[in-house]
Amino acid sequence: MESPYLELREVTMAFKGYTAVAGINLSINKGEFVSLIGHSGCGKSTLLNMIAGLARPTAGLVTLDGRQITGPGPDRGVVFQQHALLPWLSVYRNVYEAIDSVFPGRGPSETQEKRERVERVLRVVGLWEHRHKHPGELSGGMRQRTAVARAFAIVPRLLLLDEPFGALDALTRAALHEELVRLWTFDQNTETVVMVTHDIDEAIYLSDRVVVMSNGPRARIREIVDIPIPRPRDKRSILHHPAYPDLKERLIGLLTEAPAVNAA
């Protein structure tokens, strides 16, 4: 049996006087899109930060492709709720500099390959015509689209999304869902995605599995719900899929039912 691509084993993260998550066990296979949902303070972003290598667990082990994660790496791309673009650089340069930091070769063929990579990802997200603009000249949706393009541009094996669409209006969010799926399909290097979200519909539409977290402190995985809706998925038709009503009702129920009190 193939080993999990990403694995969290008995992972605990404790801060001074506070344990955010405790005893987390989660296995994610290559090619999966997995979402983490739960109330604020349930440790979703804490888990994502440990996978990104931005934080080290106080107990347990996080491994990627059989190797322990001890820090950030180019095999993982991260998109945060705030786009984190460099305001003094254009859209083009924000993406190019990210590629250049991961692949620092300076030869003519390497430089040309980077330029072509920037153009490809910006065309996929519909920003090529805006490539010379700076972040301050863009709408919120365009800035976040640039952040997603930048993450894909470094050719990560694993893409980590921390509520990247949470601050956007419904129409912009829906459009970015389509862009994300298009990029994920277009870029065969980025096979696996882990996303933190509060949006149940977003989780159902994008995910293969949804991990529901219990409330903190000492948050745990409450349940993992499979999404048995085949791909490719369409935003409009998915609402009429026979499995959709039960999936949404189950996820809402898990988030609204009073959970058992976590042990100290």
CATH of the domain at 30: 3.40.50.300
Instruction: Looking at the structure, tell me whether residues 164 and 237 fall in a common domain.
Output: yes
**Is residue 80 one of the residues assigned to a domain?**
no
Residue 264, pLDDT > 50, answer no
- What does each C-alpha distance from 206 to 117, 125, 178, 214, 223 come to in angstroms? 25, 17, 9, 21, 18
Residue 179, pLDDT > 90, answer no
Query: Out of 53-57, 92-96, 138-142, which region has the weakest mean confidence (pLDDT)?
Result: 138-142
Instruction: Looking at the structure, tell me whether residues 185 and 259 fall in a common domain.
Output: yes
Instruction: Looking at the structure, tell me whether residues 7 and 63 fall in a common domain.
Output: yes
CA atoms of 178 and 181, how far apart (whole Å): 5
Instruction: Looking at the structure, tell me whether residues 116 and 195 fall in a common domain.
Output: no
**Residue at a domain's end among 154, 181, 204:** 154
Residue 1, pLDDT > 60, answer no
Percent of the chain's residues with pLDDT above 70: 95
Instruction: Looking at the structure, tell me whether residues 169 and 59 fall in a common domain.
Output: yes
Instruction: Looking at the structure, tell me whether residues 23 and 66 fall in a common domain.
Output: yes
Instruction: Looking at the structure, tell me whether residues 4 and 44 fall in a common domain.
Output: yes
Instruction: Looking at the structure, tell me whether residues 204 and 125 fall in a common domain.
Output: no
**Is residue 212 one of the residues assigned to a domain?**
yes
For the chain, how big is the Rg over CA atoms in Å? 19
Helix-helix angle 108-124:140-153, to 10 degrees: 140
Q: Contact 55/221 with Cβ under 8 angstroms? A: no
Domain count, the chain: 2
**Residue at a domain's end among 108, 135, 154:** 154
What is the average pLDDT across 1-10? 87
Instruction: Looking at the structure, tell me whether residues 64 and 170 fall in a common domain.
Output: yes
**Is residue 215 one of the residues assigned to a domain?**
yes
Instruction: Looking at the structure, tell me whether residues 239 and 260 fall in a common domain.
Output: yes
Q: Is the dihedral of CA 144, 181, 28, 20 positive or negative?
A: positive
pLDDT for 263? 43
pTM score, two decimals?
0.89
Instruction: Looking at the structure, tell me whether residues 165 and 243 fall in a common domain.
Output: yes
What residues make up the domain containing 144? 85-154
Burial zone of 11 (CB within 10 Å; 0-12 exposed, 13-18 middle, 19+ buried): buried
**Is residue 94 one of the residues assigned to a domain?**
yes
Helix intervals (H) in 103-225:
108-124, 140-153, 170-186, 200-206
Instruction: Looking at the structure, tell me whether residues 210 and 220 fall in a common domain.
Output: yes
Phi and psi dihedrals of 19, rounded to 5?
-105, 115
Q: Provide the strand spans (E) within 33-115.
A: 33-37, 59-64, 67-68, 76-79
**Is residue 44 one of the residues assigned to a domain?**
yes
What is the average pLDDT across 29-49? 93
pLDDT for 188? 66
- Kind and range of the H or E run holding 134: none
pLDDT for 141? 85
